[in-house]
Structure 1
Amino acid sequence: MCERMRATQDAECGARLLDRAIGFALTAVQGIAPHMRARRTPCAAWDLDMLLLHLGESLAALHEGMTTGHVATAAGREGPPDDPVSALRVRAVRVLRASAALKTVTVGNRRLAGEALAGAGAIEVAVHGWDIAQATGERRPVPPLLADDLLAVCPLVLPDPPHRPLFADPVEPPPDAAPGDRLVALLGRRPLR
Protein backbone atom coordinates (compact mmCIF):
# COMPACT_ATOMS: atom_id res chain seq x y z
CA MET A 1 0.00 0.00 0.00
CA CYS A 2 1.15 3.52 -0.58
CA GLU A 3 3.18 4.79 2.35
CA ARG A 4 1.36 8.09 2.01
CA MET A 5 -1.98 6.35 2.56
CA ARG A 6 -0.74 4.80 5.77
CA ALA A 7 0.34 8.19 7.02
CA THR A 8 -2.19 10.58 5.49
CA GLN A 9 -4.96 8.55 3.81
CA ASP A 10 -3.98 10.00 0.41
CA ALA A 11 -6.93 9.95 -2.02
CA GLU A 12 -4.83 8.81 -4.98
CA CYS A 13 -3.71 5.75 -3.05
CA GLY A 14 -7.29 5.04 -1.94
CA ALA A 15 -8.43 5.19 -5.55
CA ARG A 16 -5.68 2.78 -6.66
CA LEU A 17 -6.59 0.35 -3.87
CA LEU A 18 -10.23 0.45 -4.95
CA ASP A 19 -9.21 -0.05 -8.59
CA ARG A 20 -7.21 -3.17 -7.65
CA ALA A 21 -10.11 -4.58 -5.61
CA ILE A 22 -12.49 -4.02 -8.52
CA GLY A 23 -10.04 -5.77 -10.85
CA PHE A 24 -10.05 -8.79 -8.55
CA ALA A 25 -13.85 -8.85 -8.34
CA LEU A 26 -14.24 -8.49 -12.11
CA THR A 27 -11.92 -11.46 -12.56
CA ALA A 28 -14.11 -13.46 -10.15
CA VAL A 29 -17.33 -12.75 -12.07
CA GLN A 30 -15.83 -13.90 -15.39
CA GLY A 31 -16.55 -17.52 -14.53
CA ILE A 32 -20.25 -17.05 -13.74
CA ALA A 33 -22.68 -18.94 -15.94
CA PRO A 34 -26.46 -18.43 -15.59
CA HIS A 35 -26.96 -21.86 -14.01
CA MET A 36 -24.59 -20.89 -11.14
CA ARG A 37 -26.69 -18.01 -9.85
CA ALA A 38 -28.59 -20.22 -7.37
CA ARG A 39 -25.39 -21.55 -5.76
CA ARG A 40 -24.76 -20.92 -2.08
CA THR A 41 -22.03 -18.45 -1.09
CA PRO A 42 -19.85 -18.12 2.01
CA CYS A 43 -22.44 -15.56 3.19
CA ALA A 44 -24.67 -18.09 4.94
CA ALA A 45 -28.11 -16.89 3.87
CA TRP A 46 -27.21 -15.68 0.37
CA ASP A 47 -27.06 -17.35 -2.99
CA LEU A 48 -24.83 -16.06 -5.78
CA ASP A 49 -27.65 -14.06 -7.35
CA MET A 50 -28.28 -12.17 -4.08
CA LEU A 51 -24.56 -11.54 -3.66
CA LEU A 52 -24.27 -10.15 -7.19
CA LEU A 53 -27.19 -7.82 -6.53
CA HIS A 54 -25.65 -6.68 -3.23
CA LEU A 55 -22.23 -6.04 -4.76
CA GLY A 56 -23.86 -4.20 -7.66
CA GLU A 57 -25.75 -2.00 -5.17
CA SER A 58 -22.51 -1.36 -3.25
CA LEU A 59 -20.81 -0.27 -6.47
CA ALA A 60 -23.76 1.99 -7.31
CA ALA A 61 -23.49 3.60 -3.87
CA LEU A 62 -19.74 4.11 -4.30
CA HIS A 63 -20.29 5.69 -7.70
CA GLU A 64 -23.00 7.94 -6.30
CA GLY A 65 -20.73 9.06 -3.46
CA MET A 66 -17.82 9.73 -5.79
CA THR A 67 -19.82 11.68 -8.33
CA THR A 68 -22.31 13.58 -6.15
CA GLY A 69 -20.59 13.73 -2.76
CA HIS A 70 -23.63 12.09 -1.15
CA VAL A 71 -24.92 8.53 -0.80
CA ALA A 72 -28.72 8.29 -0.69
CA THR A 73 -30.67 5.60 1.08
CA ALA A 74 -31.36 2.36 -0.76
CA ALA A 75 -34.96 3.49 -1.32
CA GLY A 76 -33.76 5.86 -4.04
CA ARG A 77 -32.08 3.16 -6.11
CA GLU A 78 -33.20 1.25 -9.19
CA GLY A 79 -34.87 -2.16 -8.99
CA PRO A 80 -32.92 -5.38 -9.54
CA PRO A 81 -31.43 -5.78 -13.02
CA ASP A 82 -32.37 -8.65 -15.32
CA ASP A 83 -28.70 -9.60 -15.68
CA PRO A 84 -26.86 -8.90 -12.39
CA VAL A 85 -23.46 -9.89 -13.84
CA SER A 86 -23.69 -7.35 -16.66
CA ALA A 87 -25.06 -4.72 -14.30
CA LEU A 88 -22.19 -5.35 -11.88
CA ARG A 89 -19.65 -4.96 -14.67
CA VAL A 90 -21.20 -1.68 -15.83
CA ARG A 91 -21.27 -0.33 -12.29
CA ALA A 92 -17.66 -1.40 -11.71
CA VAL A 93 -16.52 0.48 -14.82
CA ARG A 94 -18.40 3.57 -13.64
CA VAL A 95 -16.63 3.42 -10.28
CA LEU A 96 -13.26 2.94 -11.99
CA ARG A 97 -13.90 6.05 -14.08
CA ALA A 98 -15.03 8.10 -11.08
CA SER A 99 -12.42 6.94 -8.56
CA ALA A 100 -9.89 9.58 -9.58
CA ALA A 101 -12.30 12.31 -8.43
CA LEU A 102 -12.60 11.27 -4.77
CA LYS A 103 -13.89 13.93 -2.43
CA THR A 104 -15.62 14.21 0.91
CA VAL A 105 -18.85 12.24 0.92
CA THR A 106 -21.96 12.47 3.08
CA VAL A 107 -23.45 9.11 4.03
CA GLY A 108 -26.62 9.63 6.02
CA ASN A 109 -25.68 12.31 8.54
CA ARG A 110 -21.95 11.53 8.53
CA ARG A 111 -19.16 13.04 6.49
CA LEU A 112 -16.49 10.70 5.20
CA ALA A 113 -13.23 11.54 3.44
CA GLY A 114 -13.12 10.23 -0.12
CA GLU A 115 -10.07 8.09 0.61
CA ALA A 116 -11.92 6.44 3.52
CA LEU A 117 -14.85 5.75 1.18
CA ALA A 118 -12.43 4.20 -1.31
CA GLY A 119 -10.81 2.09 1.41
CA ALA A 120 -14.14 0.84 2.73
CA GLY A 121 -15.31 0.21 -0.83
CA ALA A 122 -12.13 -1.72 -1.64
CA ILE A 123 -12.68 -4.01 1.35
CA GLU A 124 -16.32 -4.60 0.41
CA VAL A 125 -15.54 -5.27 -3.25
CA ALA A 126 -12.54 -7.54 -2.66
CA VAL A 127 -14.18 -9.67 0.03
CA HIS A 128 -17.33 -10.12 -2.04
CA GLY A 129 -15.11 -10.92 -5.03
CA TRP A 130 -13.67 -13.70 -2.86
CA ASP A 131 -17.20 -14.84 -1.99
CA ILE A 132 -18.04 -15.01 -5.70
CA ALA A 133 -14.87 -16.98 -6.48
CA GLN A 134 -15.80 -19.51 -3.80
CA ALA A 135 -19.38 -19.85 -5.05
CA THR A 136 -18.28 -20.44 -8.64
CA GLY A 137 -15.82 -23.11 -7.53
CA GLU A 138 -12.72 -21.21 -8.64
CA ARG A 139 -11.53 -20.83 -5.03
CA ARG A 140 -9.42 -17.83 -6.09
CA PRO A 141 -7.79 -16.13 -3.06
CA VAL A 142 -7.55 -12.38 -2.63
CA PRO A 143 -4.10 -11.57 -4.09
CA PRO A 144 -1.52 -11.33 -1.26
CA LEU A 145 -0.44 -7.72 -1.91
CA LEU A 146 -4.02 -6.52 -2.19
CA ALA A 147 -4.98 -8.44 0.96
CA ASP A 148 -2.02 -6.96 2.90
CA ASP A 149 -3.06 -3.45 1.86
CA LEU A 150 -6.69 -4.09 2.78
CA LEU A 151 -5.70 -5.53 6.17
CA ALA A 152 -3.83 -2.27 6.84
CA VAL A 153 -6.94 -0.27 5.94
CA CYS A 154 -9.43 -2.34 7.98
CA PRO A 155 -8.70 -0.66 11.34
CA LEU A 156 -9.16 2.74 9.71
CA VAL A 157 -12.57 2.16 8.16
CA LEU A 158 -14.24 -0.73 10.02
CA PRO A 159 -15.60 -0.63 13.54
CA ASP A 160 -13.85 -2.80 16.08
CA PRO A 161 -15.12 -6.37 16.03
CA PRO A 162 -17.82 -7.42 15.90
CA HIS A 163 -18.39 -5.99 12.41
CA ARG A 164 -22.12 -6.68 12.35
CA PRO A 165 -24.20 -5.76 10.44
CA LEU A 166 -21.52 -5.02 7.82
CA PHE A 167 -19.79 -8.40 8.03
CA ALA A 168 -20.05 -11.55 10.14
CA ASP A 169 -18.05 -11.93 13.34
CA PRO A 170 -14.34 -12.63 12.78
CA VAL A 171 -13.15 -16.23 12.75
CA GLU A 172 -9.72 -17.50 13.69
CA PRO A 173 -7.55 -18.08 10.61
CA PRO A 174 -5.08 -20.97 10.50
CA PRO A 175 -1.70 -20.08 12.06
CA ASP A 176 0.04 -20.13 8.68
CA ALA A 177 -2.74 -18.24 6.88
CA ALA A 178 -1.90 -16.20 3.80
CA PRO A 179 -2.91 -12.52 3.81
CA GLY A 180 -6.07 -13.22 1.80
CA ASP A 181 -7.15 -15.88 4.28
CA ARG A 182 -6.49 -13.52 7.21
CA LEU A 183 -8.58 -10.83 5.50
CA VAL A 184 -11.60 -13.02 4.84
CA ALA A 185 -11.37 -14.53 8.35
CA LEU A 186 -11.36 -11.03 9.86
CA LEU A 187 -14.60 -10.40 8.00
CA GLY A 188 -16.32 -13.59 9.11
CA ARG A 189 -15.44 -16.08 6.39
CA ARG A 190 -13.79 -19.44 6.90
CA PRO A 191 -10.78 -19.66 4.60
CA LEU A 192 -11.14 -22.70 2.39
CA ARG A 193 -8.23 -25.12 2.22
Structure 2
Amino acid sequence: MPLVDLLDEAYAWTGKRLAAVPPSALDAPTPCPDWNLRQLLNHLVGALAMQLDAVEGTPAAQGVTFEEVADRAARVWAEPGVLDRTCPMPFGPTPARVVLVLHVTEVVLHGWDVGVATGERATIPGWLAEPLLDAGKPLVTDAHRGPVFGPELPAGDTGESRLLAFYGRTP
Protein backbone atom coordinates (compact mmCIF):
# COMPACT_ATOMS: atom_id res chain seq x y z
CA MET A 1 0.00 0.00 0.00
CA PRO A 2 1.41 3.45 -0.85
CA LEU A 3 2.48 5.47 2.19
CA VAL A 4 0.22 8.35 1.27
CA ASP A 5 -2.70 5.95 1.82
CA LEU A 6 -1.44 5.25 5.35
CA LEU A 7 -1.11 8.90 6.33
CA ASP A 8 -4.48 9.27 8.06
CA GLU A 9 -4.03 6.00 9.94
CA ALA A 10 -0.52 6.98 11.05
CA TYR A 11 -1.77 10.31 12.40
CA ALA A 12 -4.75 8.62 14.07
CA TRP A 13 -2.51 6.00 15.71
CA THR A 14 -0.16 8.63 17.09
CA GLY A 15 -3.04 10.94 17.97
CA LYS A 16 -4.32 8.26 20.37
CA ARG A 17 -0.93 8.23 22.10
CA LEU A 18 -0.94 12.03 22.38
CA ALA A 19 -4.50 12.17 23.72
CA ALA A 20 -3.43 9.93 26.59
CA VAL A 21 -0.53 12.14 27.73
CA PRO A 22 -1.22 13.52 31.20
CA PRO A 23 0.32 16.93 31.94
CA SER A 24 2.25 15.30 34.78
CA ALA A 25 4.18 13.18 32.23
CA LEU A 26 5.67 16.06 30.23
CA ASP A 27 9.00 15.86 32.04
CA ALA A 28 9.22 12.06 31.60
CA PRO A 29 12.22 10.60 29.75
CA THR A 30 11.71 9.24 26.25
CA PRO A 31 13.55 6.71 24.06
CA CYS A 32 15.17 9.78 22.46
CA PRO A 33 17.96 10.31 25.02
CA ASP A 34 18.29 14.06 24.58
CA TRP A 35 14.57 14.84 24.99
CA ASN A 36 11.99 14.62 27.71
CA LEU A 37 8.38 14.17 26.58
CA ARG A 38 7.69 17.91 26.29
CA GLN A 39 10.76 18.36 24.06
CA LEU A 40 9.83 15.32 21.97
CA LEU A 41 6.31 16.67 21.39
CA ASN A 42 7.70 20.07 20.39
CA HIS A 43 10.13 18.37 18.02
CA LEU A 44 7.41 16.19 16.52
CA VAL A 45 5.04 19.03 15.69
CA GLY A 46 7.85 21.33 14.55
CA ALA A 47 9.49 18.73 12.30
CA LEU A 48 6.20 17.71 10.70
CA ALA A 49 5.29 21.36 10.06
CA MET A 50 8.75 22.03 8.58
CA GLN A 51 8.39 19.08 6.23
CA LEU A 52 4.98 20.31 5.08
CA ASP A 53 6.41 23.80 4.61
CA ALA A 54 9.05 22.32 2.31
CA VAL A 55 6.48 20.37 0.30
CA GLU A 56 4.15 23.37 -0.08
CA GLY A 57 6.91 25.90 -0.53
CA THR A 58 5.36 28.22 2.04
CA PRO A 59 5.81 28.48 5.80
CA ALA A 60 2.78 27.88 7.98
CA ALA A 61 1.86 29.69 11.15
CA GLN A 62 4.02 29.01 14.19
CA GLY A 63 2.64 27.39 17.31
CA VAL A 64 0.37 24.87 15.61
CA THR A 65 -1.01 21.74 17.26
CA PHE A 66 -0.60 18.13 16.23
CA GLU A 67 -4.23 18.12 15.07
CA GLU A 68 -3.65 21.17 12.88
CA VAL A 69 -0.54 19.57 11.38
CA ALA A 70 -2.53 16.37 10.71
CA ASP A 71 -5.26 18.32 8.91
CA ARG A 72 -2.67 20.19 6.88
CA ALA A 73 -0.83 16.97 6.02
CA ALA A 74 -4.03 15.41 4.68
CA ARG A 75 -4.52 18.41 2.39
CA VAL A 76 -0.88 18.76 1.29
CA TRP A 77 -0.25 15.10 0.48
CA ALA A 78 -3.54 14.90 -1.47
CA GLU A 79 -2.58 17.70 -3.88
CA PRO A 80 -2.27 16.50 -7.50
CA GLY A 81 1.36 16.02 -8.50
CA VAL A 82 2.69 16.53 -4.98
CA LEU A 83 4.89 13.42 -5.10
CA ASP A 84 6.65 14.73 -8.21
CA ARG A 85 7.93 17.87 -6.47
CA THR A 86 11.43 18.58 -5.20
CA CYS A 87 11.45 20.07 -1.71
CA PRO A 88 14.00 22.42 -0.12
CA MET A 89 15.01 20.50 3.01
CA PRO A 90 17.76 21.55 5.45
CA PHE A 91 20.01 18.80 4.04
CA GLY A 92 19.39 19.81 0.42
CA PRO A 93 16.81 19.46 -2.34
CA THR A 94 14.83 16.29 -1.71
CA PRO A 95 12.17 14.47 -3.73
CA ALA A 96 8.73 14.78 -2.14
CA ARG A 97 8.47 10.98 -2.19
CA VAL A 98 11.42 10.87 0.22
CA VAL A 99 9.92 13.62 2.38
CA LEU A 100 6.73 11.55 2.59
CA VAL A 101 8.70 8.56 3.90
CA LEU A 102 10.37 10.79 6.50
CA HIS A 103 7.05 12.38 7.40
CA VAL A 104 5.04 9.22 8.01
CA THR A 105 7.96 7.55 9.76
CA GLU A 106 8.36 10.56 12.06
CA VAL A 107 4.67 10.42 12.94
CA VAL A 108 4.73 6.72 13.82
CA LEU A 109 8.13 6.40 15.51
CA HIS A 110 7.56 9.39 17.74
CA GLY A 111 4.05 8.12 18.49
CA TRP A 112 5.70 4.95 19.78
CA ASP A 113 8.19 7.07 21.75
CA VAL A 114 5.27 8.89 23.39
CA GLY A 115 3.68 5.57 24.33
CA VAL A 116 6.91 4.41 25.94
CA ALA A 117 7.32 7.69 27.85
CA THR A 118 3.79 7.47 29.27
CA GLY A 119 4.04 3.77 30.06
CA GLU A 120 1.44 2.79 27.47
CA ARG A 121 3.81 0.60 25.44
CA ALA A 122 1.54 0.76 22.38
CA THR A 123 2.25 -1.72 19.60
CA ILE A 124 2.75 -0.41 16.06
CA PRO A 125 0.46 -2.56 13.90
CA GLY A 126 2.22 -4.65 11.27
CA TRP A 127 0.17 -3.12 8.46
CA LEU A 128 1.73 0.22 9.41
CA ALA A 129 5.21 -0.93 10.42
CA GLU A 130 6.00 -3.10 7.38
CA PRO A 131 5.45 -0.41 4.68
CA LEU A 132 7.45 2.10 6.72
CA LEU A 133 10.33 -0.32 7.03
CA ASP A 134 10.22 -1.19 3.32
CA ALA A 135 10.20 2.51 2.38
CA GLY A 136 12.93 3.50 4.84
CA LYS A 137 15.51 0.79 4.21
CA PRO A 138 16.72 2.16 0.86
CA LEU A 139 16.94 5.69 2.31
CA VAL A 140 18.59 5.25 5.70
CA THR A 141 22.19 4.22 5.32
CA ASP A 142 25.03 4.16 7.84
CA ALA A 143 25.79 7.76 6.85
CA HIS A 144 22.41 8.82 8.33
CA ARG A 145 22.99 7.10 11.63
CA GLY A 146 24.47 8.86 14.61
CA PRO A 147 22.74 12.10 15.51
CA VAL A 148 19.63 11.31 13.43
CA PHE A 149 19.13 7.57 13.94
CA GLY A 150 20.80 5.13 16.29
CA PRO A 151 22.65 2.09 14.99
CA GLU A 152 20.48 -0.72 13.70
CA LEU A 153 19.79 -3.21 16.48
CA PRO A 154 18.92 -6.91 16.44
CA ALA A 155 15.23 -7.36 15.68
CA GLY A 156 12.54 -9.85 16.52
CA ASP A 157 10.10 -11.32 14.06
CA THR A 158 7.29 -8.74 14.13
CA GLY A 159 6.98 -5.77 11.80
CA GLU A 160 7.09 -3.45 14.78
CA SER A 161 10.26 -5.06 16.15
CA ARG A 162 12.02 -4.84 12.78
CA LEU A 163 10.97 -1.20 12.26
CA LEU A 164 12.04 -0.09 15.72
CA ALA A 165 15.34 -1.99 15.56
CA PHE A 166 16.09 -0.57 12.11
CA TYR A 167 15.77 2.95 13.50
CA GLY A 168 17.89 2.15 16.56
CA ARG A 169 15.13 1.69 19.09
CA THR A 170 14.92 -1.23 21.48
CA PRO A 171 11.53 -2.87 20.98
Work out whether 1:98 is the aligned partner of 2:66: no
SS state at 2:93 partner: strand
Aligned twin of 1:22: 11
TM, length-normalised to structure 1:
0.77
Between the two proteins, the alignment pairs up a number of residues equal to 167
The partner residue of 1:178 within 147, 154, 158 is: 158
Provide the C-alpha distance between the structure 2 equivalents of 1:19 and 1:156, rounded to a whole number of angstroms: 23
1:115 to 91, 94, 97: 97
Equivalent of residue 107 in structure 2, options 108, 111, 125 = 125
Alignment match, 2:136: 154
Residue 169 of structure 1, CA deviation: 1.6
The answer as to 2:121 corresponding to 1:139 is yes
Shift of 1:66: 2.3
Decide whether aligned partners of structure 1 residues 44 and 108 sit closer, same or farther in structure 2, where only a CA change above 3 A counts. Answer: closer
Letter in 2 for 1:47: N
CA contact under 8 A between 1:162 and 1:170: conserved in structure 2?
no
Q: Relative to 1, partners in 2 of residues 1:115 and 1:30: Cα closer, same or farther, differing over 3 Å? A: same
Partner residue in 1 for 2:168: 188
Aligned-pair CA distance for 1:77: 8.4
Amino acid across the alignment from 1:141: T
User: What secondary structure does 2:52 align onto?
Assistant: helix
| Alignment check: 8 A CA contact 2:29 2:117 kept | yes
CA offset digits 1:47-99 (Å, max 9, x no partner) = 1101000101111112202221x7x8xxx984xx5xxxx72222222112211
TM superposition shift of 1:158: 1.9
Q: Which of these residues, 24, 37, 41, is aligned with residue 52 of structure 1?
A: 41
Gaps of 5+ in 2: none
CA distance in 1, matches of 2:46, 2:137: 24
Amino acid across the alignment from 1:19: D
- Who is 1:37 aligned against? 26
Change beyond 3 A, Cα 1:109–1:42? closer
% identical equivalent positions: 28
Letter paired with 2:77: S
Which stretch of the first structure deviates more once superposed, 34-43 or 103-112? 103-112
TM-score normalised by structure 2 residue count = 0.86
* SS state at 2:113 partner: helix
Whether contact under 8 Å (1:161, 1:169) holds in the other structure is no
For each residue in 1:100-122, what CA deviation from the matched residue of structure 2 results, as whole angstroms up to 9, or x when unmatched? 12232122473222222111211
Paired residue for 1:88?
A: 66
Pairwise CA RMSD: 2.3
Gaps spanning 5+ residues in structure 1: where? 2-12
